[in-house]
Amino acid sequence: MSEVKEKEVLKVKKSEALLSKRRKNILIDPLDDNNPVTIQVLGICSALAVTIKLEPTIVMSLSVVFVMIFSSLLTSLVRDYIPVRVRIIVQLAIIASLVTLVSEFLKAFNYEMFKVLGAFVGLIITNCIILGRLEAYAMGNKPYDSILDAMGSSVGYAWIILAVAFFRELLGSGSVLGYKVFEMIGWETFPTNGLFVDSIGAFIILGLIIWVQRSRNGYVEN
Amino acid sequence: MDLINLIIKSAFMDNMVFAYFLGMCSFLAVSKKVSTANGLGLAVIFVLTCTAPLNWLIQQKILNEGALSWIGPQFATVDLSFLQLLMFIAVIASFVQLVEMVIEKFSPALYGSLGIFLPLIAVNCAILGGSLFMVQRDFNLQEATAFGFGSGLGFYLAIVALAAIREKLKYSHVPDGLKGLGITMLLTGLMGLAFKTFIGMTL
């Protein structure tokens, strides 16, 4: 009897396709047109500092993707039980637990990388993209949609910082992922520029990436 | 004297924004007008000066390995340092909430002008970063307070200076794609270059 009932309910609530057009938009929009870093000005805080080399940046982006997806899922699951007044603290507690997990994992399996990233793993907590997406999306939407949104935003963020890291390592240290590319092609006197190892290079490269991306998309900020 | 040097060092040479990219979100978002930048900067100084020593106490008396031995000898081997991030962010968020309530109660005028920025501060990376760096660098209590104050001061200087430049920038012709965030990033880079001149100084 109950089985029949369940089938009827399923028929009435005709479920949306796993990757319908709307959901694809949720996933793809933050990659380019609505990029969290270049368009929404979020999450520049904690990540620029690790973009000197490509390798720590890859670890950092993976950590952010992980924290983002799971915090969105968890927040979305408990969203109806969070009192409005303390929601920020609850969200921060969820993020902080996940970041602690990442940080302990790194400490155990890749201690060298943990030392390179240092305090910046902890600073994922205050990455505005994560809190911003939890507040703006996961607090009001179903878990599956929230995961898609989190995936889109975090990957949109990751490709920007990976691009910054690529140029900083290439121009600042003359290498990509530690391989001295210029020496390999026989250009041994490539003039590396200390400015790009420094924080200033990150600001300028990000500024230029923003310029290129916004001109291409035709986005103008007032 | 050492403490004054530490304040100067953390405000200028190790500037939170230009050297460590901390607090960039609010730095970019709230720097459109000098008056609002001023309010946010002052609030950051205050919160950093208070949370740095507070978190120092928590680190030394609760989280470090063996730190709990003041309760009893059986706690001497307890190591709670994995709770560091959770404790720090809880302290910061609740401190900010507390400050917000106190200001709301006793000085509605100040609350009116600061109100919106206070919750923003809880997620300002400069605050959490201040606490994490303080632990990394093994400061004592006075040094932690001085470091908190100095870092806050550095953030204040940076955001007010940027806001002043951006107010002037309204009258210049910036290419479309660079408007807003783009030109601000380039400006920040140039300001960082200016701050780099302090690095050669020895105190």
Give the model confidence (pLDDT) of B62-118 as tens digits: 887 777 777 777 777 777 778 888 888 888 888 888 877 887 888 777 777 665 667
Interface test with A, best of B31, B89, B125, B169 (most A CBs within 10 A): B125
Q: What is the distance in angstroms between the Cα of A71 and the nearest Cα belonging to chain B?
A: 14
ipTM of the complex: 0.77
Interface test with A, best of B25, B169, B178 (most A CBs within 10 A): B25
Q: Inform me whether the pLDDT recorded for A13 exceeds 70.
A: no
pLDDT tens, A143-195?
Answer: 888 888 888 888 888 888 898 888 888 888 878 887 787 777 777 777 778 78
Interface contact flag, A206 B185, Cβ < 8 Å: yes
Q: What is the distance in angstroms between the Cα of A207 and the nearest Cα belonging to chain B?
A: 5
Query: In chain A, what residues touch B25 (CB-CB under 8 Å)?
Result: 41-45, 128
Residue extents of the structural domains in chain B: 2-196
CA dihedral B195, B198, B199, B203 (to 10 degrees): -150
**Spans of chain B below 50 pLDDT:** none
Which structural domain, as residue segments, surrounds residue A40? 22-156
Query: In chain B, what residues touch A200 (CB-CB under 8 Å)?
Result: 18, 189-190, 192-193, 196
Number of domains in chain A: 1
Q: What is the distance in angstroms between the Cα of A127 and the nearest Cα belonging to chain B?
A: 7
Interface test with B, best of A195, A199, A216 (most B CBs within 10 A): A199
- Give percent of chain B with pLDDT exceeding 90: 10
Query: In chain B, what residues touch A89 (CB-CB under 8 Å)?
Result: 90, 93-94, 97
- Region A24-28: mean pLDDT is 79
Residue B85: predicted pLDDT: 82
Residue A116 lies in a domain: yes
Residue A7 lies in a domain: no
Residue A200 lies in a domain: no
